[in-house]
A and B are shown apart, each in its own frame.
Chain A
Amino acid sequence: MCHKVIGMNKKEDFISLEHVHKNFAGVHALKDLSLSIKKGEIHCLAGENGSGKSTLIKVISGIHVPSEGVIRIGDKILNRLTPKQAIALGVQVIYQDFSLFANLTVAENLALNTNLAQNKKLVSWKKVYQLAREAMDRLQIDIDLKREVGTLPVAQKQLIAIARALMFNARLIIMDEPTTALTGKEVQVLFDIVRQIQKEGISVLFVSHKMREMLEISEKITVIRNGSKVAEGPTTDFDEKLLTYHMTGQEFTDEKYIITTESNETPRLQLGNYCGNGFQNIDLCLHKKEVIGITGLLGSGRTEFAKALFGMQADTTGTLRIDGEPVQLSSITDAIKHGIAYVPEDRLSEGLFLSQSIKRNILATTLDSIGNKFFLDKIILTERATQTVDEIGIKTDNTDNAVNTLSGGNQQKVVLGKWLLTHAKILILNGPTVGVDIGSKSEIHKRIRNIAREGDLAVIMFSDDINELVHNCNRIIIMHKSKFVEEIPASDAEENDINNRLKELA
């Protein structure tokens, strides 16, 4: 590991934090943290959820005042920074929600702040479009200026946020988890833009917990854990394993999930020439204990396929057999009745009842099977919820606590856990660990493999995260333009090969 002496290249640094501490009512969120970002450097700040990344961003952007330590920007040494000062010095933060106005047009979003800053009472639309056009040209992107921002896909919103940040004469752009909602191809577009920004001498601080992306884009990585810096150095010094180790403080061993299925046994799920809106001619034979992975680019039809299996497309054709029985899944209720469980893509909007208790979340799928219509026995409810909590390893001491008090990883376990009680036969996971930190991710993977192996479940895992598929699935299927185009058994599956294969398809 290369530990650089801070201050050695001081004249090149755009910003450096020196021995910064931050306390919140007894919580030591940042401990003796030093960090320097050079001009035109792509710097990665890596850390798990809750490691202090957000606090650090807020210190740099002037929202939090450090309890101790100084911030050096150029030749200024500051004990504290106000948000206004930070912006004036060229610090721009692009948050995960982008802070755009969804009901305004692209041009309005881009030009609004400049207009406000000039304190103009009247709007010159010509000027607005001109400003917006310039901002877009700078990034060499082309988005319809008259479109409402709310109707744009996430990736384009992000580009607008970046374009807007550049309009403020930015010297440092901080991107907070910028790739969370992007597909592989969109990530590449983003990276190209980041490199372009870098050429203008602007520094980029890339905050993330996705290892592959950090290793690809950055020149230097700083890893923080529990508010302290645990490693820093040029990116070439790191690999995924080392980065994981520094971020979590533990080592994870990666094994593949390999099982042997008995071919003469009736398959759990059998699809023959299965067609629907977004997918065609799907043939699939899935046995119990199997975990298969399905991946594909955006628009490959995999989401539609996943949802159809959960009864969300009434008019599918072809055959679908569960345990040999032909069934028609025309509603979610049908699907659940036939033993299908579905963990949705977006756990916050589709999976969880955030303000409700853990207990109610877990029992949401099985309320009708507990007791009768007129009475729910509290003791049975608690017993079942507690049993699930223990089985899936949710960290809580009271199932009456609201789900929003849990961490992302534990919340995802709740979404998974609510299907355990339904005695499902087929578990469909759509992005099972999106936005979950590495520690919890590996635990969730372990649970999924256990459920499959011991619960005689057949699991279909839809994911963008090829690494996840390689280490959890006994075979991986690539979907492209509504069809299955390739199947790779676990023994031959290599992350890089599959990624390359996907790039070829793009």
Chain B
Amino acid sequence: MPMHRNSQPNIRDFLNRNSNLLQLIAITALIFIVMSALNPAKFLRYYNFDSIAFSFPELGLLSIAMMIAMLTGGIDLSVVGIANFTAILAGKLFQAALVGKDLPPSATLMYVLLGIVIVLVVGTLAGMFNGFLITKVGITPILATMGTGQLFVGLSLVITGGPAIVGFPEMWSMIGNEKILGIAVPCWIFLIIASSIAYILNKTSFGIKLMLIGTNAKAAVYSGIDKNSIILKSYMLTGVLSAITGIIMSGRTNAAKSDYGSSYVLQAVLVAVLAGTNPAGGYGTVFGVFIAVIGLMFLSSGLMIMRFSNFLVDFIWGAFLLLIMVVNYYNNRRQAARK
């Protein structure tokens, strides 16, 4: 047999394997076209895209985290809890160190960097705690992370006493509100993180092991893959991603609150599934998540422009997600039948 048989990636093979992704791209394009046609003056304004670029990274990063947890057949319901908890810790730090004091910018910068480090470290530890409960104690991911999610919300409430923490330094809000080279900083952060995750999933043994564990955990163990350590690391990764989301959220709103963005949890689950991630494990792509989030953003901003009530927007989101899943289901069944 010739050795070169698959050195040339075949586009048709790729599309066959990713028909759901292709469909998702088509639907996103369709939403874009319909929304543009309905309201060209407002929808196609630069301002609209600019505001999407600021708002999508939060949901986008949380959805990537969710997708990673789903790769091993798990789920991470504590993502928003971790995001808020870490942001509140940073807020507490700034309140104690900066409010009412007139420090030079270099000192403020040091504190901001320290804040970032604290957020990332705490996020990692929180994820490690999830991973510990799941792999060592043996609690089902959905229950473990629901529990820790509540735990972090509770801790946040204790720390803040309820109301939002304000008083983040200006440098911190720049993370959420500034632009670099005309593109929103959150968007930059998203693009960098998303491509790193895509790299990790496709080009490192860690990423491939994740997929293998998700496909068949038993076979993975029989192949000598250290299942528990890989799963533990995957939850550490989702913890870090949640923490980064916490930075962006607090930066954008200049506040941190225990129950901010709690609807993001289920939205992230839905985006991940919409992106073609197999909730049973083994398959998921960062690119899919990206397209799914963008599609949803086009949909909701288009509806907002048309002055739909917020409740109706939620309804349409839900209907849209259901529609995609039904279409996917029939598509997959048809393909299976053809085999």
Contacts and interface: CB of A to CB of B under 8 A. Distances in A.
Interface of A: 332-333, 335-336, 342, 344, 349-356, 360, 363-365, 367-368, 370, 373-376, 378-379, 382-383, 386, 389-390, 397-400, 405, 418
A356 B284 CA distance: 12
B236 interface: no
B102 interface: no
A397 B7 contact: no
Contacts of A349: 216, 218-219
Interface in B184-209: 203-206, 208-209
A367 B204 CA distance: 9
Interface in B236-273: none
B211 A356 contact: yes
B3 A400 contact: no
B21 to A, nearest CB: 15
Nearest to A310: B222
Nearest to A353: B215
Nearest to A352: B219
A379 B9 CA distance: 11
Contacts of B1: 386, 389-390, 397
A400 B6 CA distance: 8
A336 B224 CA distance: 7
A344 B222 contact: yes
Given A386-B6, A398-B5, A398-B13, A355 B204 contact: no
A418 B222 CA distance: 11
Nearest to B4: A386
Given A354-B216, A375-B203, 6 more contacts: A335-B224, A356-B215, A373-B204, A398-B6, A398-B10, A400-B6
Contacts of B5: 386, 397-398
B314 interface: no
A358 to B, nearest CB: 10
Contact of A368 (B13, B205, B283): B205
Contact of A350 (B3, B208, B219): B219
Contacts of A342: 222
B225 interface: yes
A372 to B, nearest CB: 9
Contact of A332 (B3, B216, B221): B221
Interface in B1-23: 1, 3, 5-7, 10, 13, 17
B112 to A, nearest CB: 29
Contacts of B206: 373
A382 B222 contact: no
Contacts of B6: 382, 386, 398-400
B222 A356 contact: no
Nearest to A335: B224
A387 B206 CA distance: 23
B224 to A, nearest CB: 4
B283 to A, nearest CB: 7
B7 A382 contact: yes
B204 A360 contact: no
For the complex of A and B, list the 8 residue pairs with the smallest distance between their C-beta atoms, beginning with the closest.
A367-B205, A353-B215, A336-B224, A364-B223, A365-B223, A353-B216, A398-B6, A356-B215
B282 interface: yes
